[in-house]
């Protein structure tokens, strides 16, 4: 695990630029640094030593020295690949897992990526052909960003690495912001910075003579269903999951696990315990607000398997964490990230590697919205005039409690989403709690609305929902999530929040072999009526008590909506008076003021929208005014108290 960076351009100052870039990524690899320079390219790496602690330094060259590799990640099938390659006469100079990529490239060229099982972002420089080839893992667990012009090409694991080069002047990507405020994540190739692009998950890139071409090398097929009984499917799922967990234990250092008390992380940790001869170190956090506290369930699992349990009750000081999280993400933070950040901080005191339960909901239909889409179809049989007039009035009378998944929110969601059909319903549901296409006409300044009037964020979702990769409604939703929310939101947070503490996070449930197997299962095995995650729960039942498996979905969180009406209300009011996005002519003060007033007065719950705005304001000050995280924490204190 590490951070990688490189650039192609003017040779005279490339070395200094690369050093600044890798320094910016030191948190991803505090153990070592390595560099390669020639007359065209400079490559750098910061290393977090996990496998081959003695001789695993990068960059790594092949036997003849004409291929140079840097890689961020782990290759879980490297032992088998290494033996195959040795059998073909290849000589290895290290014991590290990633060296197999070099020799696979010698054998198969750019097709080598299709043989890898792991999480990775790697770059290979071909000295002879003067080609730079890079690829990102199937699901996008490891990040890679790039900036390209005719004169230069710059890449890094994080945006901050590219900015540190001094080649790119930071500018706001307004089109990206337009989509972000609707979707809660930055889709596709966008980043928050103009002209700095994400290499998308499951995609490779080839640079040659200033030209850049990208190609998707992997996709998910939900149409090739297996003809299985449920019992056969369950056993197959168990075997695939257990194999993934075992493969993810590849390490020369101790491996632990996040244990939230939910089904996904608990199943992974239990499988680890079964596969490990020693007690598994597990890490759990709780909060003082008991409605959000899952520690009792984590303790239940840890006790059952004799795990080495580490836990901590954290205080709700989230507002002071936001600047640090933004700095780690290079983008606005998300409440989900708070828990990952805090549990990573706890885990790093004991281990360098942890397994997590990320991906269980997206692979096996674990979110309420999957069942909600079906319910909306039935509800839509009511006459539209009745839903628009009578039901809207009735629902508007339901008092808002400003809690998690309130009756008022669910009723409004059901009624409003019933106005759309199938794919449009699903795509619009993503922006329901954030900024819809209609509300963006009030949020953004008129000239920006005019510029992006044809840029409907729902189109970026519909193209996956309407693809030929899936037929059933549930499968269409799962495919869409796995291609959008998973790589562009959840895995971004998982990577940055763990790496902020120099901790390697591994997610067996998004191993591409698990994803491929789950896609072959009939949709009704995953969502049975209204029973979410049905097949996975049956597998989990082999390891976990029923009281954990069948309890209501909870999730780690904080009462943000309530705080924004009480202790954080002054922050919102005062921030509105000095909004940079208003001063820049991007957002309209009048609409922001309406959101703040309605939320504080209790008229409506706008906490998701206000969180987005608050984070954008702090993000701008951090990256464009170069205020420190300490200064931003001081600013929030000042705005709260005045």
pLDDT at 557: 65
pLDDT at 337: 93
Give pTM, 2 decimals: 0.95
Q: Residue 40 and residue 337: Cα distance in Å, rounded? A: 39
233: exposed, middle or buried (Cβ count in 10 Å: 0-12, 13-18, 19+): buried
C-alpha distances in Å from residue 449, one per residue of 287, 438, 583, 612: 41, 10, 17, 18
pLDDT at 300: 95
Q: Residue 18 and residue 190: Cα distance in Å, rounded? A: 24
- What tokens were used for 255? 């491996």
pLDDT at 505: 98
DSSP class of residue 487?
A: I
DSSP class of residue 587?
A: B
DSSP-assigned beta bridge partners for residue 32: 47
DSSP class of residue 77?
A: T
pLDDT at 590: 97
Domain regions of the chain by residue span: 2-216, 230-365+485-549, 368-479, 560-641
Q: Residue 119 and residue 356: Cα distance in Å, rounded? A: 14
461 and 480 Cβ atoms separated by less than 8 Å: yes
Q: What are phi and psi of 123, to 5 degrees?
A: -135, 130
Which residue is it, tokens 């890449």?
A: 155
Average pLDDT, the chain: 94
∠ CA 323-324-330, rounded to 5°: 85
Looking at 567-606, list the stretches that DSSP marks H as alpha helix, in order from N- to C-terminal side. 569-577, 580-583, 589-601
SS (H, E, C) 159-218: HHHHHCCCCCCCCECHHHHHHHHHHCCCCCCCCCECCCEECCCCEEEEEECCEEEEEECC
Q: What is the CA radius of gyration of the chain?
A: 24
- What tokens were used for 587? 């957002």
pLDDT tens per residue, range 547-596: 999 887 765 667 889 889 999 999 999 999 999 999 999 999 999 999 99
pLDDT tens per residue, range 201-234: 999 999 999 999 999 999 999 999 999 999 999 9
On whether the 2-216 domain is CATH 3.60.9.10, my answer is no
Residues of the chain with pLDDT below 70 are 1, 289-292, 316, 402, 404, 554-557
Q: Cα 570 to chain center, whole Å?
A: 31
- Tell me which CATH code domain 230-365+485-549 carries: 3.40.50.620
pLDDT at 291: 62
DSSP class of residue 199?
A: P
Q: What order do you get walking across the sheet with 211-216 strand by strand?
A: 60-61, 67-75, 118-126, 131-136, 203-208, 211-216
């Amino acid at each position: 695990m590490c951070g990688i960076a490189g650039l192609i351009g003017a040779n005279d100052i490339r070395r200094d630029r690369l050093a600044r870039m890798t320094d910016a990524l030191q948190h991803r690899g505090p153990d070592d640094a390595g560099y390669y320079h020639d007359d065209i390219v400079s490559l750098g790496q910061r290393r977090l030593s996990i496998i081959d602690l003695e001789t695993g330094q990068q960059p790594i060259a092949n036997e003849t020295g004409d291929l140079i590799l840097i890689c961020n990640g782990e290759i879980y099938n490297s032992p088998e690949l290494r033996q195959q390659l040795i059998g073909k006469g290849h000589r290895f100079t290290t014991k590290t897992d990633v060296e197999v990529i070099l020799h696979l490239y010698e054998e198969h060229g750019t097709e080598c990526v299709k043989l890898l099982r792991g999480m990775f972002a790697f770059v290979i420089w071909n000295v002879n052909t003067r080609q730079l080839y890079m690829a990102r893992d199937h699901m996008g667990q490891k990040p890679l960003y790039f900036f390209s012009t005719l004169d230069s090409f710059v890449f890094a694991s994080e945006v901050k690495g590219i900015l540190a080069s001094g080649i790119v002047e930071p500018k706001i990507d307004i089109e990206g912001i337009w989509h972000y405020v609707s979707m809660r994540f930055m889709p596709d190739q966008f980043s928050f910075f103009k002209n700095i692009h994400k290499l998308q998950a499951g995609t490779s890139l080839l640079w040659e003579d200033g030209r850049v071409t990208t190609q998707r090398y992997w996709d998910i097929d939900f149409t090739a269903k297996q003809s299985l009984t449920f019992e056969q499917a369950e056993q197959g799922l168990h075997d695939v999951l257990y194999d993934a967990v075992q493969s993810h234990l590849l390490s020369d250092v101790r491996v632990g696990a996040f244990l939230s008390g939910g089904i996904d992380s608990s199943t992974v940790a239990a499988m680890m315990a079964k596969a490990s001869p020693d007690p598994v170190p597990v890490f759990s956090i709780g909060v003082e607000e008991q409605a959000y506290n899952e520690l009792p369930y984590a303790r239940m699992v840890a006790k059952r398997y004799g795990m080495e349990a580490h836990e901590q009750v954290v205080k709700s000081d989230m507002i002071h964490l936001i600047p640090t999280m933004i700095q780690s993400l290079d983008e606005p933070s998300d409440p989900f990230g708070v828990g990952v950040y805090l549990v990573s901080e706890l885990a790093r005191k004991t281990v360098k590697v942890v397994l997590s339960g990320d991906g269980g909901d997206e692979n096996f239909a674990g979110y309420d919205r999957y069942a909600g889409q079906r319910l909306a179809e039935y509800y839509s049989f009511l006459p539209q005039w009745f839903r628009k007039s009578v039901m809207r009035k009735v629902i508007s009378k339901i008092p808002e409690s400003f809690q998690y998944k309130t009756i008022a929110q669910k009723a409004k969601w059901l009624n409003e989403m019933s106005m759309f059909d199938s794919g449009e319903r699903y795509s619009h549901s993503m922006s329901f709690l954030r900024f819809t296409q209609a509300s963006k006409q009030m949020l953004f300044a008129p000239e920006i609305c005019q510029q992006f009037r044809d840029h409907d964020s729902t189109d970026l979702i519909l193209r996956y929902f309407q693809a030929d990769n899936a037929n059933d409604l549930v499968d269409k939703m799962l495919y869409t999530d796995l291609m959008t929310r998973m790589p562009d939101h959840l895995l971004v947070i998982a990577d940055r929040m763990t790496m902020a503490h120099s901790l390697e996070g591994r997610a067996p449930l998004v191993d591409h072999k698990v994803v491929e197997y789950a896609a072959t299962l009939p949709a009704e095995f995953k969502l049975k009526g209204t029973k979410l995650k049905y097949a996975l729960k049956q597998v989990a039942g082999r390891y976990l008590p029923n009281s954990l498996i069948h309890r209501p979905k909870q999730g780690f969180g904080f009462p943000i909506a309530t705080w924004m009406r009480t202790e954080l209300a002054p922050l919102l009011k005062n921030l509105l008076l000095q909004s940079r996005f208003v001063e820049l002519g991007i957002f309209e003060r009048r609409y922001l003021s309406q959101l703040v007033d309605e939320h504080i007065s209790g008229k409506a719950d706008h906490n998701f929208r206000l969180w987005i705005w608050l984070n954008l304001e702090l993000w701008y000050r951090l990256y464009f005014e170069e205020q420190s995280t300490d200064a931003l924490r001081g600013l929030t204190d000042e705005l709260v108290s005045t």
